[in-house]
Amino acid sequence: MTRLSKHHITLTVNGRACALDVEPHHTLVQVLRDQLGLTGTKLSCGEGECGACTVLVDGETVNSCLMLGVEADGREVVTIEGLEQSGELHPVQQAFLDAGAVQCGYCTPGMIMSAVRLLRRTLHPTAAQVKEAMAGNLCRCTGYRRIVQAVIAAGAALSTSEPKRRNQ
Ligand code: FES
Ligand code: FES
């Protein structure tokens, strides 16, 4: 059987330039977790249904189980590990903790990445807007109410923070 050769890609992950040789059939979540050790991004359904693997690629939310690693060539990827600044949690991370929006935590990194994208566009979303923006992120534990509360609270916190933090 012919084995396809690896592809060399360069990308930015959490602000750092990376050069990697990736298997052509490996997904971005595999590359992030297995090659870069960024295990904060979770792999659950592997079919684009649950949102656990959500990361930002060029500022947009992507199910990293559906994107090949080679497709990330030349792009900018942000994972949950990239949100903290100087040891301080991102306001969305803090709001999830404060609101008790985390139980088993498996959905949480993906939820937070979707919330970050929403709040970059709308700092004061309604509950309906939060639910719509997070519709692709499933949670089996929390019942969603506290997650919605956390996103709204994070928007309020971000609105009083430095502009740099808001766009992070
Ligand atoms: S693991 Fe990617 S959407 Fe479920
Ligand atoms: S906290 Fe367990 S799946 Fe959401």
pLDDT the model gives residue 97 = 97
Please return the burial class of 42, using the count of CB atoms within 10 Å of its CB with bins 0-12, 13-18 and 19+. buried
Where on the phi/psi map is residue 56: left (φ > 0), alpha (ψ -120 to 50), or beta?
beta
The pLDDT > 70 percentage for the chain reads 95
Nearest residue CA, atom 4 of ligand 2? 139
Residue 168 has pLDDT above 90, yes or no: no
Residues 47-82: pLDDT tens digits?
999 999 999 999 999 999 999 999 999 999 999 999
Q: Is the CB of 78 under 6 A from ligand 2?
A: no
Q: Is the CB of 156 under 6 A from ligand 2?
A: no
Cα of 163 vs centre of ligand 1, distance in Å, is: 31
At a CB cut-off of 8 Å and minimum separation 6, what does 66 contact? 27, 47, 48
pLDDT the model gives residue 136 = 97
Say whether pTM exceeds 0.85: yes
| Pair of tokens at residue 20 | 């990697």
Q: Is the CB of 45 under 6 A from ligand 2?
A: no
| Residue 56, helix vs strand vs coil | strand
pLDDT the model gives residue 150 = 98
Confidence of residue 165 (pLDDT cuts 50, 70, 90): low
User: What is the rounded average pLDDT of the residues 121-144?
Assistant: 96
Q: Is the CB of 106 under 6 A from ligand 2?
A: yes
Cα of 162 vs centre of ligand 1, distance in Å, is: 32
For residue 54, give the ligand 1 atom closest to its CA: 2
Domains of the chain: 7-82 (3.10.20.30), 91-166 (1.10.150.120)
The pLDDT > 90 percentage for the chain reads 91
pLDDT the model gives residue 162 = 67
pLDDT the model gives residue 133 = 96
Whose atoms come closest to the Cα of 53: which ligand?
1
Please, are residues 25 and 68 in contact by the beta-carbon 8 Å criterion? Answer: yes
- The residue behind tokens 């947009």 is 60
Closest CA relative to residue 124, chosen from 162, 152, 94, 144 = 152
| Residue 122, helix vs strand vs coil | coil
pLDDT the model gives residue 2 = 66
Residues 112-130: pLDDT tens digits?
999 999 999 999 999 999 9
pLDDT the model gives residue 161 = 81
Angle, in degrees to the nearest 10, between helices 91-99 and 108-121:
120
Cα of 99 vs centre of ligand 1, distance in Å, is: 25
Please, are residues 8 and 19 in contact by the beta-carbon 8 Å criterion? Answer: yes
Residue 6 has pLDDT above 70, yes or no: yes
Q: Is the CB of 96 under 6 A from ligand 2?
A: no
pLDDT the model gives residue 147 = 98
Please, are residues 13 and 32 in contact by the beta-carbon 8 Å criterion? Answer: yes
